[in-house]
Amino acid sequence: MNHVSEDEREHSTTFIRDTVQRIYPRAFIWAEIGLAIPQAQNKHLEQNHRNTRQIAEFARPLVEGMEPAEDGTLPDFRHALRDGPLPIVLRGLYSAQTAWTLNWLEDISEEETVAYLHPLGWFKHLRPALDAAEVEYVDLTKRQEWPEGDEHVALSTMHSAKGLEFDHVVVLGLNADTVPHGGEEGDAQLENHRRLVAMALGRARESSTAC
């Protein structure tokens, strides 16, 4: 309102609310926050400009058929516009998975961003491997200030990656120790993990890898 208070001409203002991230509650009306908008129009933005179709198809089954959490909206992966490489799923020992990703990282341009995401932020094996390969990186988990530097590799918990995006995403350590849950359909822990992993994979613009 301060921005338009001195402008007597007709104008328009756009508010964009990201309810998928669940940062703010959805249950409010404009009058409650002091805005009188006599000609307000609401539009649901559907096009997915971040992910490729392949990433979207990879993440979509994780949340398909689920009910959104209170005051939230499930990610919508149906409207991606671009094509890209197929996502990669790695199996085997964690050390072997780490070694594979380091070899893969050699082919990634330093102009592109890469995020290693882990459910709990356990990177005790990855950090020494990155140091040995002389790969500079930053840690984004619970940072109060955004890091400044030329590093193009980031380490983060999946929770701390909410709202961010990277060219490439590698989700490490998806196992029973880091994402424990019950085996029954509708298990609350399982559904929370499904939402979280889908969100993490959806941080990627060009490629996703899950280990």
Mean pLDDT of 77-103: 91
Residue 21 located in a structural domain: no
3-state secondary structure at position 200: helix
3-state secondary structure at position 50: strand
The pair of structure tokens assigned to 127 is 């950090």
Residue 61 located in a structural domain: yes
Out of 11-20, 22-31, 130-139, the most confident range is 130-139
Residue 17 located in a structural domain: no
Residue 3 located in a structural domain: no
Residue 33 located in a structural domain: no
**pLDDT, tens only, 141-194:** 888 787 888 899 999 999 899 889 999 999 988 887 777 777 767 677 888 888
CATH code, 94: 3.40.50.300
How many structural domains are present in the chain? Answer: 1
Mean pLDDT of 83-90: 96
The pLDDT value recorded for residue 23 is 42
The pLDDT value recorded for residue 24 is 45
| pLDDT over 60 (residue 127) | yes
**pLDDT, tens only, 33-72:** 777 777 777 787 778 889 999 999 999 898 888 776 655 5
C-alpha to C-alpha distance for 38 and 29, rounded to whole angstroms: 12
Question: What is the C-alpha R_g of the chain?
Answer: 20
Residue 43 located in a structural domain: no
Would you call 100 exposed, middle or buried from its count of C-beta atoms within 10 A (0-12, 13-18, 19+)? Answer: middle
Residue 29 located in a structural domain: no
Helix (H) or strand (E) segment spanning residue 116 = strand 114-118
What's the maximum distance between 2 C-alpha atoms anywhere in the chain?
Answer: 66
Domain of 78 in residue numbering reads as: 48-210
Residue 114 located in a structural domain: yes
